[in-house]
Structure 1
Amino acid sequence: MLKVIAPIFLFSLSFPALALVPPDYQEPPSDFTAEIEAGLQLNTGNTESSSFNGRTQLIYDTKQTKQEATLKAYFASEKSKTTSEKYELQLQSNYKLTKGYIFGRGDFTWDQFGSYTQISTISSGYGFNAISSYKTKLSLEVGPGYRYNLPAESVDIPNPDAEKDVILRTAAKFSQKLQEYSSLNADLTAEMGENNNTLTLDMNYKNLVFQDWAFKIGMNIKYTEVVPEGSQQTDTITTFNLLYTFR
């Protein structure tokens, strides 16, 4: 009798719990999203090498504000000798309005082997969503800023002076959902100043392979109008990464 009563008693305890939690229950969407990726890279321009790169992005998106932080790292070595070492930090805070948003942004680059070893840009302005649908998204931003560039040392100029410039920054951020599990993203940024102008295109193709895992092919192209002597105007980085998304 005890063998019969025990299963019935356990079933009676578990039934209310099943009634409270439907079988199709899902956790409510979170305001926080994180992406971590790593893989190989191919460099052309001022740096010729192939090695490791990594990227981490944190996004906290609420009804009133959106906070975004992105950290990128590029590293390469040949025969125990470092040939490429570059770090990028991008911070942006948006305050949402009825139409559009006001943003404050900071871009910081440390590049040991680049034409500029340190680049710091602080900007603010206004942005709005020109297109916002399930498959296509396009946002535009414009605003003033300040840029600090430190050129790389050379034989002729061992201690170069930093270049300081007031700029106008414009940006377009585009995202297109190609299929259910693949998307194309492209960010185009222009910084126009009295002493120098830059144009950066950051684009990638992402394909989901398993749940939160995706394969990502990226390309970053940056054109700088005025560079130190002996440096190239265009830098290109191509990456092949495996990406994981936390939601």
Structure 2
Amino acid sequence: MLRLLSATSLLTAFSANALIPPEYQEPASGFTAEVEAGLQLNTGNTESSSFNGRTKLVYDTKKAKQEAVVKAYFASDAEKTTAEKYDTQFQSNYKVESGYYFARGEGTWDEFGSYTRLYTGSVGYGFDVINRYATKLKLEFGPGYQYSLPQATDTDPAPEATKDIILRSAAKFEQRIHEYSSFTADLVSENGRENNAITLELGYKNILFQDLAFKVGMNLKYTDVVPEGSKQTDTMTTFNLLYTFQ
């Protein structure tokens, strides 16, 4: 009886190995997620705190790609809140042989910015200029619509929102420096009759462990027309830990 059971087990194992080749791997789900956060606390002569976080979700298949990003930034000192900003972005790409068509929506809530509310919707076409393992470059072009509400000032305590038709252009660059580090640069231009804006987002990522990385980021945005008393250029630098789910 024991010999019969052993022979049956060997036959079952052999059949399974025959059906599943050694090089077989489970198919990729197409879903990835990134979560990053940074916290800064100062005590003593200066008491302040700041927090920034970012979550990115991507679902990529042969025919389409869905990407959603949520960002948050908060800062305060001993007396009051000094910064509070939230960004949401969603883009859906439909792939074709020469590139992809996209639909994109963005929303910004910035209580201390030159514009407290900024909503943008756009559609267009994108394609790969360079698509190699170490170097990637994408370009996107398309029309859009933008709603922006300026910050209230002493001279204009109840400003009216601006509604504008824009042309959105974007260049997305990624360079893998070596196996454990990479550099990204995203340049976005939004040109309309009422206003123009250019945003440059830079990032350097260095992998510490398999799924954990250290990331340095910088975001620079120039807005041509801003309310009285506001600066045209906003800059934000972050130092975060990033975890990737696959």
Q: With the length of structure 1 as denominator, give the TM-score of the two structures.
A: 0.88
Structure 2 residue matching 1:16: 3-state secondary structure: helix
What is the rounded CA distance, in whole Å, between the counterparts of 1:24 and 1:212 in structure 2?
A: 24
What is the rounded CA distance, in whole Å, between the counterparts of 1:59 and 1:17 in structure 2?
A: 39
What is the rounded CA distance, in whole Å, between the counterparts of 2:187 and 2:49 in structure 1?
A: 25
The answer to whether residue 164 in structure 2 is matched with residue 162 in structure 1 is: no
Worse-superposed segment, 191-200 or 23-32: 23-32
Structure 2 residue matching 1:114: 3-state secondary structure: coil
Structure 2 residue matching 1:210: 3-state secondary structure: coil
What is the rounded CA distance, in whole Å, between the counterparts of 2:22 and 2:80 in structure 1?
A: 57
- 1:169-192 Cα distance to aligned partner (Å, 9 max, x none): 000000000000100011000000
1:16 match: 13
The answer to whether residue 207 in structure 2 is matched with residue 208 in structure 1 is: yes
CA drift at 1:200: 0.1
> How has the CA–CA distance of structure 1 residues 78 and 133 changed in structure 2, closer, same or farther, with 3 Å as cutoff?
same
CA drift at 1:81: 2.0
Please tell me the residue identity of whatever aligns with 2:133.
Y
What is the rounded CA distance, in whole Å, between the counterparts of 2:90 and 2:15 in structure 1?
A: 44
Please tell me the residue identity of whatever aligns with 1:235.
D
2:134 match: 135
Which runs of structure 2 are paired with 1:87-106 in the superposition (5 Å)? 87-106=86-105
1:44 match: none
2:29 match: 30
Please tell me the residue identity of whatever aligns with 1:76.
A
2:45 match: none
CA drift at 1:17: 9.0
What is the rounded CA distance, in whole Å, between the counterparts of 2:34 and 2:180 in structure 1?
A: 16
1:46 match: none
**Identical-pair percentage:** 64
What is the rounded CA distance, in whole Å, between the counterparts of 1:231 and 1:69 in structure 2?
A: 30
Q: RMSD across aligned C-alpha pairs, in angstroms?
A: 2.5
Decide whether the 8 Å contact of 1:127 with 1:141 is kept in 2: yes
Please tell me the residue identity of whatever aligns with 2:118.
I
Please tell me the residue identity of whatever aligns with 1:31.
G
Decide whether the 8 Å contact of 1:40 with 1:239 is kept in 2: no
1:45 match: none
1:82 match: 81
What is the rounded CA distance, in whole Å, between the counterparts of 2:176 and 2:232 in structure 1?
A: 32
- 1:160-213 Cα distance to aligned partner (Å, 9 max, x none): 000111100000000000000100011000000111100000110001100100
Q: With the length of structure 2 as denominator, give the TM-score of the two structures.
A: 0.88
What is the rounded CA distance, in whole Å, between the counterparts of 1:74 and 1:170 in structure 2?
A: 26
5+ long unaligned stretches in structure 2: 41-47
What is the rounded CA distance, in whole Å, between the counterparts of 1:17 and 1:115 in structure 2?
A: 69
5+ long unaligned stretches in structure 1: 42-48
Bigger relative contact order, structure 1 or 2, given CA contacts below 8 A and separation 6+? 1
What is the rounded CA distance, in whole Å, between the counterparts of 1:77 and 1:64 in structure 2?
A: 45
- 1:67-122 Cα distance to aligned partner (Å, 9 max, x none): 00000000111115211110000010000011011000011100001010000010
